């Protein structure tokens, strides 16, 4: 099926590792022109080479700390300068460290808020400045099923992802008049398949789960398997497609093997 993404300009934050890497390769397979915004230029550069081999029309890497609005604006400027527009943005950057809430500190809260919420605000604002005059665009933010279920050891992270869900629905309502669609994808436990899929700064650089824990997680899910990065990428590519999902906006889609089932 033609998804209408060939040579479209797609900006992906955190495109160097895990889900971000799969996102870049997923859009590359559609022939998109991709701008990777990542704080780890080395890892993002490796993914850019893979994306070119996978069929991307073009790829550029822009070192970006999404918690800084000026850097988010520079990322979007780079995409427009090279490709003429921003057709799709994927807010993928996220970070967490599994701890019970009473083990955390205000400094930890602030880091979670900056990365997981302020980063989305910054990049969405910067992208809308380009999309509104163009009269079209798609924004997909990577949320988490922790935002829908509540999950032990992810209190602040889950709270920020819930904020992302609400924010994106509001942005969808405000900007539909400009032809801009805004959606969220909520992964469950999503595990890199190889060590090469993550950079040194990734939260997945060290295993978060033992093999026994992963087996228990898989056994608890209706589909009896944990998620892989490509599972999330496939859903995001679909939602970004003006042909396949052109009438879809303001939605929060769980891609978690059935972890949450919300009517």
Q: What is the pLDDT of residues 68-122, one digit of tens each?
A: 999 999 999 999 999 999 999 999 999 999 999 999 999 999 999 999 999 999 9
Nearest residue to 167 (alpha-carbon basis) of 128, 146, 187, 141 = 141
- Residue 81 domain-assigned (yes or no): yes
Give yes or no for residue 210 having a pLDDT over 90: no
What domain range is 203 assigned to?
Answer: 9-255
Q: What is the pTM of this model?
A: 0.94
Give yes or no for residue 30 having a pLDDT over 90: yes
Tally of domains within the chain: 1
In this predicted model, what pLDDT tens digit does every residue of 228-257 receive, in sequence order?
999 999 999 999 999 999 999 999 999 999
- Residue 260 domain-assigned (yes or no): no
pLDDT at 211: 82
- Residue 4 domain-assigned (yes or no): no
**Continuous H helices in the chain:** 18-29, 41-54, 69-83, 106-113, 119-134, 146-149, 155-175, 211-220, 229-240
Give yes or no for residue 226 having a pLDDT over 80: yes
- Residue 3 domain-assigned (yes or no): no
CB atoms within 10 A of CB 246: 12
Q: What residues contact residue 255 under an 8 Å CB cut-off, 6+ apart?
A: 185, 186, 187, 188, 227, 231, 232, 235
CATH of the domain at 42: 3.40.50.720
> Is 157 part of the annotated catalytic residue set?
yes
- Residue 262 domain-assigned (yes or no): no
- Residue 90 domain-assigned (yes or no): yes
Rg (CA), the chain: 17
């Amino acid at each position: 099926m033609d998804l209408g993404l060939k040579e479209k300009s797609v900006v992906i934050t955190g495109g160097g590792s895990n889900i971000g890497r799969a996102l870049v390769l997923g859009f590359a397979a559609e022939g998109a022109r991709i701008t990777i915004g990542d704080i780890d230029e080395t890892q993002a550069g490796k993914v850019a080479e893979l994306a070119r081999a996978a069929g991307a029309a073009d790829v550029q890497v822009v070192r970006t700390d999404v918690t800084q609005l000026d850097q988010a604006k520079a990322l979007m400027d780079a995409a427009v300068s090279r490709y003429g527009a921003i057709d799709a943005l994927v807010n993928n950057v996220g970070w967490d460290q599994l701890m019970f809430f009473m083990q955390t500190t205000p400094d930890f809260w602030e880091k979670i808020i900056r990365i997981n919420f302020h980063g989305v605000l910054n990049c969405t604002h910067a992208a809308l400045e380009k999309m509104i005059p163009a009269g079209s665009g798609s924004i997909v933010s990577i949320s988490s099923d922790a935002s829908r279920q509540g999950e032990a050891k992810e209190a602040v992270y889950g709270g920020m992802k819930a904020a992302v869900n609400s924010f994106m629905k509001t942005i969808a309502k405000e900007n539909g008049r400009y032809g801009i669609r805004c959606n969220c994808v909520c992964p469950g436990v999503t595990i890199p398949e190889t060590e090469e899929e993550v950079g040194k700064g990734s939260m997945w650089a060290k295993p978060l789960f033992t093999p026994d824990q992963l087996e228990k997680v898989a056994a608890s899910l209706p589909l009896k398997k944990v998620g892989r990065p490509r599972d999330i990428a496939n859903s995001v590519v679909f939602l970004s497609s003006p042909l396949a999902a052109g009438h879809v906006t303001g939605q929060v889609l769980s891609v978690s093997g059935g972890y949450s089932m919300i009517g």
